[in-house]
């Protein structure tokens, strides 16, 4: 993709700027769609209808209306809040979520940055979100926000470990940290996907990764940091208007990023499940996005079904359940690869 | 046990603390106790095996409209299944009644309410402050001679 | 407002002195303020916390105090107090009216027709189901399960439709008058009520599958907020709080009023199935099972419903003799007592409402020490308070 653009445009900087913006062209309409989808999914699960009026058919334009409303809201900063941190926090959170898109391949022809430490970079840069959350909680000058931020920081940092270990199992099979390379290795029919390799270890790694990623994005059952019924809205209680919209955008972008990683590493990424049939650079985009949306749908389904875990139970699950089993996966896959 | 038997037992034990007994009251008989002896009577009622009044159903304050205030205790025994009504009457000048909070913890909030709305002071209560009205409200609203204040903290009251 | 003093220990260990003494930290005072999504109304819980562990809870009530007792003394007759009774516990208004009507009828010494007794019981039991649905739905919401809330409200709508059919109101009915009822049952009520009973039985099973036996829900509520039986009795707790602690005490069975002694139902008691006896899960499951028993009572009452005139015993002028009465009934939240003093005129002299939620809430400090903040929400939800009743 970058060679194509370099032929058309002479300036290198402009080329890379365009490449950096292309995921944004997906993330923003996706976020608009995902908020509507969440409201519809939750509504139908709860025996009601959800948005029905705005835009005509099932209220598809509801999120657009909400964004316009948020855009024109007054920008309120609490008097005793730390103004610089307060304003900077949503940007840091969004930046942490969005930067992960640089190393995620949308198709065989497009990857933002083909660095060969792709996965390592993704895990590292998504940890920046924690800094943003802590900034938001502290700068709000609100005890409840502080609680939410503390819990969130503890949760995200703890769940990085089973995440990284589960992904390590896949890296051992692939032999590379570059996601594009991993996707190429999964080409062919769907049984080439990594999730079916070295059964049951990689499947277990997938389950561990999926559960841990729910905690990474603060979704129920791990949404204690933004637990509505306890902390009102946790670390983003004091935010309104566009800053709140940015937090929301960051959350949905993060959801998609982890879903994209799950689909790239376990379900074949942009590969078609039918081998050469329906494959190609543009079809790749379609398959990639559908697999991502499938995981998004499961995340939404889980959110509206399960209650939330208390923070110490959450920690218990991470350290005493997921991490040991993730070790089991790593050792299992490692031995299998070594001996096989 | 019937209220008559309970009264006789109490009279035998406490003598002059038992002031009155109205056996033919509508709808159930009551016993009047001296307000400064409530706690020992309460402990006796709770701990005696034949009585075992372990449940304080209700503790209400009342303004008798003749210069006196009263506290009415409704007791019940879950074990023996009998009930009892006690009354303690005080004057408005010296509205002190001994608290039974150490006997039945249910009395904690009930006595605070009685103090808040009627001004009866319960001695030995661990935390006697207003519960329903704001903490700096003046006056005791449920008294018959209560006049609504004009202003509260600068705000006009009957608005 | 005069606040309680904030507690805190101020000494922290100096970095230059090495001592075996543990680092002493300051306790934080956190306000689960009057406006909070989980306090079920305007309740202020002042939490003194050490990190996430609660050291003390100081509840402040009175935000919804509307002087019910003072109003009652200024009404021109006893019937006019009934709309005020509705508004105390607005979630279970039928039960509030029921208690007051029975208390005044006892003071007057009148008997109501059989039909009135049966209809009152049917309404009270429907109200019990409706109130428990709110308690269970909002409890799920507090713990994080969003969907059962909507399911419970969907089912509650059908009960409210029945009430609206009968007396025109969905929430505050003014239905049970001293000596009778305001309206007789409309035609079609009995069929709709039977339809509801058939409809609702599988819904309880659905609620159990979705929420009650859910692993995460059990982890959140079992062994949390354990209330021992003797503490419950001493604090005057009643209703599902008392029964959840293992005490088999239900006024409908132990001190039957109206015609409750003619019906066959089981009193549900907490047995500590998934945790300790008297924890939040026990109180929750007692409420779920009470709904099933209420359905049984309704079905029996409908089958035995006699004919009659519901207005025939309503006195034209209520002038009770000089005296007083204390009458208690079993509302969904517990034992509601009315202490009514009459001075022989048509106006009540003193009406004191002893509300169950008032006594149940007073025990919150005892059962929350040592719990975590997230547990605080679970405990407050399991007590099932309605602030209108607590503050009157």
Q: Do chains A and C touch (3 or more CB pairs under 8 A)?
A: yes
Does the predicted interface ipTM exceed a cut of 0.95?
no
For residue C132, what pLDDT band results from cuts at 50, 70 and 90? very high
Say yes or no: B8 contacts chain C, CB-CB below 8 A.
Answer: no
Among the ranges given (C45-59, C121-135, C152-166), the one the predictor scored with the smallest mean pLDDT: C45-59
For residue C6, what pLDDT band results from cuts at 50, 70 and 90? very low
Average pLDDT of the segment spanning C277-299: 92
Q: Do chains B and A touch (3 or more CB pairs under 8 A)?
A: no
- Interchain CB distance below 8 Å, A307 and C216: yes
> Structure pTM?
0.86
The three-class DSSP label of residue A225 is helix
Say yes or no: C141 contacts chain A, CB-CB below 8 A.
Answer: yes
Residue C16, pLDDT > 80, answer no
Q: What is the pLDDT of residue C392?
A: 85
Q: Are the C-beta atoms of C301 and C115 separated by less than 8 Å?
A: no
Q: What is the pLDDT of residue A228?
A: 54
Residues C267-278: tens digit of each pLDDT: 999 888 888 898
Q: Quote the percentage of chain C above a pLDDT of 90.
A: 41
Say yes or no: B62 contacts chain C, CB-CB below 8 A.
Answer: yes
DSSP track, A148-211: HHHHHHHHHHHHHHHHHHHHHHHHHHHS-S-HHHHHHHT-SBGGGSGGGTTTTHHHHHHHHHHH
Tokens of A185: 């290795």
Average pLDDT of the segment spanning B52-60: 90
Q: What is the pLDDT of residue C369?
A: 86
A194 burial type by CB count under 10 A (0-12 exposed, 13-18 middle, 19+ buried):
buried
Residue A1, pLDDT > 50, answer yes
Q: What is the pLDDT of residue A231?
A: 55
Please name the residue that has the structure tokens 């080409």.
A187
Closest chain B CA to residue C329: B57
- Interchain CB distance below 8 Å, A306 and C142: no
- Interchain CB distance below 8 Å, C38 and A229: yes
- β pairing state of B121-123 and B96-98: parallel
For residue A230, what pLDDT band results from cuts at 50, 70 and 90? low
Nearest to B106 among C61, C236, C391 (CB): C236
User: Mutation test of the interface with chain C: which of A304, A310, A313, choosing the one with the most C Cβ atoms within 10 A?
Assistant: A310
Residues C312-345: tens digit of each pLDDT: 888 888 888 899 999 999 999 999 999 999 988 8
Beta-bridge partners for C48: C29, C56
Residues of C in contact with B85 (CB under 8 A): 326
Which of C159, C137, C268 has the alpha carbon at shortest distance from C210?
A: C137
Q: Are the C-beta atoms of A238 and A85 separated by less than 8 Å?
A: no
For residue C7, what pLDDT band results from cuts at 50, 70 and 90? very low
Q: Report angle CA A233, A234, A239 to the nearest 5 degrees.
A: 65
- Closest CA–CA distance from residue B58 to any residue of chain C (Å): 6
Q: Which domains does chain B have, with CATH numbers?
A: 3-156 (3.30.460.80)
- Interchain CB distance below 8 Å, C373 and A230: yes
Beta-bridge partners for B68: B91
- Interchain CB distance below 8 Å, C374 and A224: yes
Q: Quote the percentage of chain C above a pLDDT of 70.
A: 93
Average pLDDT of the segment spanning A306-311: 83
Residues C170-210: tens digit of each pLDDT: 999 899 999 889 989 999 999 999 999 999 999 999 888 88
Q: Are the C-beta atoms of B111 and B99 separated by less than 8 Å?
A: yes
- Interchain CB distance below 8 Å, C335 and B62: no
Say yes or no: B134 contacts chain C, CB-CB below 8 A.
Answer: yes
- Closest CA–CA distance from residue C148 to any residue of chain A (Å): 8
Rounded to whole angstroms, the Cα distance separating C168 from C161 reads: 9
Q: Are the C-beta atoms of B83 and B72 separated by less than 8 Å?
A: no
Residues of A in contact with C143 (CB under 8 A): 229, 307-308
**Domain boundaries of chain C, sorted by first residue:** 68-391
Q: Do chains C and B touch (3 or more CB pairs under 8 A)?
A: yes
Residue A208, pLDDT > 90, answer yes
Closest chain A CA to residue C35: A232
Residues A18-70: tens digit of each pLDDT: 888 888 888 888 988 898 999 999 888 888 888 888 887 888 888 888 888 88
Q: Are the C-beta atoms of B89 and B66 separated by less than 8 Å?
A: no
- Domain C68-391 carries which CATH code? 1.10.645.10
Question: What is the enclosing helix (H) or strand (E) of A215?
Answer: helix A201-216
User: Mutation test of the interface with chain C: which of A39, A148, A229, choosing the one with the most C Cβ atoms within 10 A?
Assistant: A229
CA dist B39 to B88, B103, B126, C108, Å? 12, 7, 14, 34
CA dist C113 to C80, C263, C317, Å? 22, 18, 18
Nearest to B131 among C62, C67, C324 (CB): C62
């Amino acid at each position: 993709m970058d060679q194509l653009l370099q032929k058309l445009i002479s300036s290198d900087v402009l080329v890379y700027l365009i490449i950096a913006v292309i995921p944004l062209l997906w993330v923003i309409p996706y976020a608009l769609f995902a908020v509507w989808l969440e409201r519809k999914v939750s509504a139908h699960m709860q025996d009601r209808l959800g948005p029905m009026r705005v835009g005509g058919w099932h209220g598809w334009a509801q999120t657009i209306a909400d964004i316009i409303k948020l855009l024109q809201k007054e920008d309120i900063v609490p008097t005793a809040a730390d103004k610089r941190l307060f304003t900077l926090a949503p940007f840091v959170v969004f930046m942490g979520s969005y930067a992960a898109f640089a190393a995620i391949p949308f198709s065989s022809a497009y990857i933002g940055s083909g660095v060969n430490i792709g996965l390592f970079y993704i895990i590292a840069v998504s940890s920046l979100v924690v800094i943003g959350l802590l900034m938001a909680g502290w700068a709000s000058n609100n005890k409840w926000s502080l609680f939410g931020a503390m819990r969130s920081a503890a949760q995200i940092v703890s769940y990085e470990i089973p995440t990284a270990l589960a992904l390590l199992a896949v890296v051992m099979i692939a032999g590379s940290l570059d996601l594009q390379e991993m996707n190429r290795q999964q080409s062919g029919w769907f049984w080439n996907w990594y999730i079916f390799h070295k059964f049951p270890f990689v499947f277990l790694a997938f389950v561990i990764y999926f559960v841990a990623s729910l905690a990474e994005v603060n979704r129920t059952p791990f949404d204690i940091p933004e637990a509505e019924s306890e902390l009102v809205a946790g670390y983003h209680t004091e935010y309104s208007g566009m800053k709140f919209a940015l937090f929301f955008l960051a959350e949905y972008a993060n959801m998609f990023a982890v879903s994209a990683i799950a689909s790239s590493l376990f379900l074949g990424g942009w590969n078609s499940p039918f081998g050469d049939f329906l494959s190609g650079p543009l079809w790749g985009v379609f398959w990639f996005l559908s697999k991502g949306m499938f995981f998004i749908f499961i995340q939404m389904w889980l959110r509206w079904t399960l209650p939330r875990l208390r923070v110490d139970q959450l920690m218990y699950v991470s350290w005493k359940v997921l991490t040991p089993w993730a070790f089991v996966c790593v050792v299992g896959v490692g031995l299998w690869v070594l001996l096989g | 046990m019937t209220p008559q038997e309970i009264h006789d037992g109490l009279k035998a034990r406490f003598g002059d603390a038992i002031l009155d007994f109205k056996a033919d009251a509508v709808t159930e008989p009551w016993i009047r106790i001296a307000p400064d002896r409530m706690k020992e009577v309460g402990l006796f009622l709770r701990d005696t095996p034949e009585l075992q009044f372990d449940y304080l159903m209700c503790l209400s304050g009342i303004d008798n409209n003749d210069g006196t205030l009263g506290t009415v205790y409704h007791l019940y025994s879950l074990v023996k299944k009998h009930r009892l009504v006690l009354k303690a009457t005080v004057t408005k000048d010296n509205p002190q009644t001994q608290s039974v909070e150490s006997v039945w913890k249910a009395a904690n909030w009930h006595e605070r309410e009685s103090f808040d709305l009627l001004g009866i002071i319960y001695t030995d209560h661990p935390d006697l402050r207003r519960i329903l009205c704001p903490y700096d409200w003046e006056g005791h609203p449920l008294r018959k001679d209560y006049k609504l204040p004009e202003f509260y903290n600068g705000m006009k009251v009957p608005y | 407002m005069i606040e309680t003093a904030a507690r805190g220990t101020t000494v922290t260990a100096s970095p230059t002195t090495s001592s075996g003494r543990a680092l002493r930290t300051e306790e934080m005072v956190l306000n689960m303020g009057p406006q909070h999504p989980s306090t079920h109304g305007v309740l202020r819980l002042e939490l003194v916390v050490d990190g996430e562990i609660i050291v003390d809870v100081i509840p402040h009530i009175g935000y919804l105090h509307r002087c019910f007792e003072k109003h009652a003394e200024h009404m021109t007759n006893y019937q006019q107090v009934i709309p005020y009774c509705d508004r105390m516990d607005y979630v279970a208004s039928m039960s509030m009216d029921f208690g007051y009507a029975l208390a005044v009828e006892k003071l007057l010494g009148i008997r109501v027709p059989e039909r009135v007794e049966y209809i009152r019981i049917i309404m009270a039991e429907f109200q019990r189901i409706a109130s428990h649905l709110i308690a269970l739905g909002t409890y799920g919401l507090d713990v994080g399960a969003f969907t059962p809330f909507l399911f419970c409200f969907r089912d509650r709508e059908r009960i409210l439709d029945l009430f609206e059919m009968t007396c025109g109101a969905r929430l505050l009915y003014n239905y049970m008058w001293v000596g009778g009822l305001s309206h007789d049952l409309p035609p079609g009520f009995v069929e709709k009520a039977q339809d509801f009973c058939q409809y609702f039985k599988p819904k309880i099973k659905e609620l159990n599958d979705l929420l009650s036996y859910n692993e995460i829900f059990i982890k959140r509520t079992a062994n949390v907020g354990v209330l021992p039986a003797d503490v419950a009795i001493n604090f005057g707790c009643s209703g599902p709080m008392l029964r959840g602690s293992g005490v088999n005490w239900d006024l409908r069975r132990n001190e039957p009023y109206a015609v409750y002694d003619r019906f066959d139902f089981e009193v549900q008691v907490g047995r500590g199935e998934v945790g300790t006896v008297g924890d939040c899960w026990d109180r929750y499951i007692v409420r779920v099972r009470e709904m099933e028993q209420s359905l049984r009572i309704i079905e029996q009452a409908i089958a035995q419903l006699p004919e009659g005139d519901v207005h025939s015993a309503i006195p034209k002028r209520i002038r009770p003799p000089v005296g007083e009465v204390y009458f208690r009934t079993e509302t969904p939240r517990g034992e509601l007592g009315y202490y009514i003093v009459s001075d022989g005129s048509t106006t009540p002299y003193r009406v004191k409402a002893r509300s169950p939620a008032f006594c149940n809430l007073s025990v919150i400090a005892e059962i929350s020490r040592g719990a975590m903040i997230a547990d605080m929400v679970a405990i407050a939800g399991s007590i099932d308070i309605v602030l209108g009743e607590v503050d009157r």
